[in-house]
Each structure stands twice: as structure tokens, then as C-alpha cells.
Amino acid sequence: MDLVPVFFKFIRIFKLCLYRNLLQSLIKKSIKIKIFCKNFNLWYNILTIDHWGDVVRFGARFILDKEPYFIPHDYRKHFLSLIKEAIKLSDIKLFEKFYGNNSKNRQKPFTFSVSFVSSDNQSEKGKIFLDSNKVTLHFSSFDPKVLINVYNGFVKLSKEKSLNYLGGSIQINRFFYKQRKLINSDRVTFKTLSPIVVRELKDKKGVGFIDCNHPDFKKNLFYNVKSIAKVFLDYDLKEDEFQIFDLRIKSKKVNIYGKEIANKGIFTVKAPVSILQLIYDAGIGAKRSQGFGMLEVIG
């Protein structure tokens, strides 16, 4: 009996098992999700459970095809379109729930931010020029089902050689995961990964946006958190339960969806732990699901 083929077959199986164990250790608890493994050019189907362990965030690296490298100033709209397409590919019922005819003003349990290195060497109205061809989407959700479906959709999109977004052709280069930070204190310092947008309210209706120096900034931000706490936690947040301290934020006017004011910086929030976890997972402020209000814990 020739033992050489048997030996190499054993090595392949051993590597396969190691890789699968690595994936399971990253996820810790299995879910029904397909993960593309480039090393083996195979699809894995992890068993079904309730949630994705400690992972509530993932990133997707995009590569721009042509020089000079740039993205449109309204790049958030393009990434929102990609997220919608990802959800549609994975779960059409979930897509209809969020974006169908009867979904107007429905709160969505996710937020995202986009990172890149901008260049000062070129300028042109409507474009942001970059120092490299890499752009990264960071996605976070309070709802594991949404996270799974968006991830699965992006995996399917990554099979395409090129995608027509961001004013040209792009490719999805790689994925990465970020472990969830479990908040166990009622006081947390956050840093914005994408700007916070706070609505100006008149008769409890949004009539525009305000900056961090507006006298109603903290109060209106509380109303936003109160709203999402009711929707996602069925929690009736009281005003004396939510306090903002040490506001180190700068404001800048932008015009992505309609004359927003972007507020970026560092601030501290004192609130029930469940509320702090919610705004970390799902974001804070208006237009969270459109690329605003994503936070990182720094203290």
C-alpha cells in the first residue's frame, strides 16, 4: 500500500480541522452563517444558535480599482446602498421590514462608520482624494440577526470581481471581527467613530439639526436615546437617568442627506448599563443607520 497519498490526505484533513476550530474559537457560539475561507476555497456552515458570541461588530476592507483614488463626499449613501443590498441578498423579509413600503421611520438596530486616509495633494468639489486605495467599513448592531444577515450579504458580494459603488469599481478585499465590549459600569467615556447628529425639535418633531453648543443639545440627545431604549429594550428611560459630562466635541456642517451638523469628539455618559450597551452597539443620535453616531469605548 502506498502511504504517501494517505499521508498527504491526512495533512489536508488536519489543516481543515485546525482552521475550523480557529473559526469556532473566534465565534465561541455557533450561528447559522456561511464564512468564506480563502485558504481552502470552501464554504463553512456553522451550526444554528441564538447569537454570535461576543462579536457584534465586523469590518469589510474595500479596494478602489483606479487611480487617482477618491470617494464621493456623500460616501455614506453609497455604503448604505451596499448594506441594503447585503440585507436583500440574505433575507428579503428583513429587507422589507426595514426598507419596504410600510417601513417609514422604523428604527434600525445598527450603525456604521467608514475609515480611510485622505490626501491633501488634490481637491475637487464633491470628491475626497485618498492616499491609498483602501477604504474600510465598520459595522455594529444591537440585533445579532441583523449582524449575521449583513455579514452574509457582504460575503456574497465579495464573490463579485467588481462592484459599481463609490463613483467607480471596488472590490471587497477582506473581513475582520471585533470583540464586543461588555459594559459593566454606569459611567462610560465614548469617542465618536462617526459623527453624532442631533435633531432640533419643535412640538416633538425634527425641524433641523443643532451643534454641541446649542442649549438643547444634551436634552435632545436624551430624547433620541429614550426613543431607541423604548423600541429595542422596552425601557422607559427617565431624564434623570441619563447624564452627559465632559463634552469635548467639535461641530461641522455637512450636507449628506440634508444639511446635517456633524458632532465629533469625546464625551462621558452616566446611565443604566443596558442603555450604555445599547448606544455602544446600535449608535446614538439621529441617522444612526445612515452612517452617523457610531461610538467606541475609551474609558
Of 27-41, 61-75, 80-94, 245-259, the one with minimum mean pLDDT is 27-41
Stretch 167-174: mean pLDDT, rounded?
A: 90
Whether the per-residue pLDDT at 35 is higher than 50: the answer is no
Q: Do domains 51-179 and 187-297 have the same CATH topology?
A: yes
- From the options 1.10.150.80, 3.10.20.90, 3.30.70.1890, 3.40.50.1820, give the CATH code of 51-179: 3.30.70.1890
Going by pLDDT thresholds of 50, 70 and 90, the confidence category of residue 194 is: very high
Class of the CATH-defined domain 187-297: alpha beta
Residues 6+ apart with CB under 8 A from 218: 244, 247
Whether the per-residue pLDDT at 204 is higher than 90: the answer is no
Tell me the pLDDT of the chain averaged across its residues. 84
Give the pLDDT score at 12: 57
Q: How far is CA 18 from CA 11, 14, 15, 55, in A?
A: 11, 6, 5, 21
Max CA separation in the chain (angstroms): 85
User: In percent, how much of the chain has pLDDT > 90?
Assistant: 63
For the chain, what is the radius of gyration of the CA atoms? 21
Angle between helices 217-233 and 273-282 (to 10 degrees): 90
b/e per residue 109-144 (b: at least 16 CB within 10 A): bbbbbbebeeeeeeeeeeebebeebbbebbbbbbbb
Whether the per-residue pLDDT at 47 is higher than 50: the answer is no
CA-nearest of 280, 261, 256 to 193 is: 280
pLDDT tens profile 3-21: 445 445 555 555 455 545 5
Strands (E), 85-167: 110-115, 127-129, 134-141, 163-165
Stretch 181-195: mean pLDDT, rounded?
A: 96
Give the pLDDT score at 56: 73
Residue 11, classed as helix, strand or coil, is helix
Give the pLDDT score at 238: 97
Highest mean pLDDT, choosing among 13-27, 32-46, 92-106, 283-297? 283-297
Contact 97, 106 (CB under 8 A): yes
Q: How far is CA 299 from CA 170, 191, 196, 284, in A?
A: 36, 9, 19, 17
Residues 6+ apart with CB under 8 A from 158: 36, 60, 171, 172, 175
Domain boundaries, the chain: 51-179, 187-297
CA-nearest of 216, 222, 196, 212 to 286 is: 196
